[in-house]
Structure formats: structure tokens, C-alpha cells
């Protein structure tokens, strides 16, 4: 019985301090590229961006809780003819949002631009 209880506890709270976070991104208009970035807040922001897919997007990422407490997580949406948009969370805020909402949700409304690409 104790073994079953430990197994259930491990499954519910996530053994090894890992969490599978579901990110849902629905841009208006759809079809934007979504990229993901994690960086330690104490270091320079030089980590690589990871392509997740195009909107509408639902994707699951496994993240370590201990690592998240020191990290900043950023999502960015990119679509030709529109200004890029990004949303950033501290690791602790990301975990709070995930726990309270059951996932990470972002619905950016992309702004169209006229003429040359702004720099």
C-alpha cells in the first residue's frame, strides 16, 4: 500500500522535478511562426530560439522546475507583413499560470504594417 501511495504521489507531483507544460498559442490572423526561448536571468540572453510550429498551436514541453526558477521563458510570434510580438514569463510566473489555468495560453493580435519592414 505504501508503495502505491508513493507511486501516485510521484505521478501527481512529478518525479525528478519535471513538468509537462502545454502551450496554446492562437494568433489573429493564424499562420504565424511560434518560437520558444529560455534564458537564465543572471546570464546574457544568448540562448537559441526553438521553433515550435505555426498558429493555431498546441504543444507540450517538458521543463525542469528547478531550472525554471532561475529562467525567463519567452514566446514570440512572427508572420510576414506583421510586427513581431512576444510574451515573457519568469519561471515562477509560468508555473503559477500553468497551475491555475491548467496550461499556458496566449492569443496575440498581430498588427499589420505598410511599406518597408521596420528596423
Work out the average pLDDT over 14-32: 85
Torsion of CA 22, 26, 30, 35, to 10 degrees: -50
Checking if the pLDDT of 78 tops 70, the result is yes
State what percent of residues in the chain have pLDDT above 90.
Answer: 47
Work out the average pLDDT over 37-65: 81
pTM recorded for the entire structure? 0.75
Higher-confidence position of 16 and 2: 16
Closest CA to 59 of 50, 46, 68: 50
Work out the average pLDDT over 102-112: 93
Q: What is the distance between the alpha carbons of residues 119 and 76, in angstroms, rounded to a whole number? A: 17
Work out the average pLDDT over 82-111: 92
What per-residue confidence (pLDDT) applies to 101?
92
Is 47 within 8 Å of 37 (Cβ atoms)? yes
What per-residue confidence (pLDDT) applies to 66?
80
Where do the structural domains in the chain lie, given as residue ranges?
A: 32-106
Show the cell assigned to 72. Answer: 525567463
Judge residue 5's burial from the number of C-beta atoms within 10 Å of its C-beta, 0-12 exposed, 13-18 middle, 19 or more buried. exposed
Work out the average pLDDT over 22-32: 95
Checking if the pLDDT of 118 tops 70, the result is no
What per-residue confidence (pLDDT) applies to 43?
55
Amino acid at each position: 500500500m505504501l508503495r502505491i501511495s508513493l507511486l501516485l504521489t510521484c505521478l501527481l507531483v512529478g518525479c525528478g522535478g519535471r513538468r509537462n507544460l502545454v502551450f496554446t498559442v492562437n494568433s489573429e490572423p493564424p499562420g504565424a511562426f511560434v518560437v520558444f526561448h529560455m534564458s537564465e536571468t543572471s546570464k546574457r540572453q544568448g540562448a537559441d530560439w526553438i521553433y515550435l510550429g505555426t498558429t493555431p498551436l498546441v504543444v507540450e514541453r517538458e521543463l525542469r522546475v528547478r531550472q525554471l526558477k532561475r529562467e525567463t521563458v519567452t514566446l514570440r510570434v512572427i508572420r510576414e507583413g506583421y510586427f513581431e510580438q512576444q510574451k515573457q514569463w519568469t519561471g515562477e510566473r509560468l508555473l503559477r499560470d500553468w497551475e491555475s489555468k491548467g496550461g499556458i495560453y496566449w492569443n496575440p493580435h498581430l498588427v499589420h504594417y505598410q511599406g518597408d519592414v521596420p528596423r
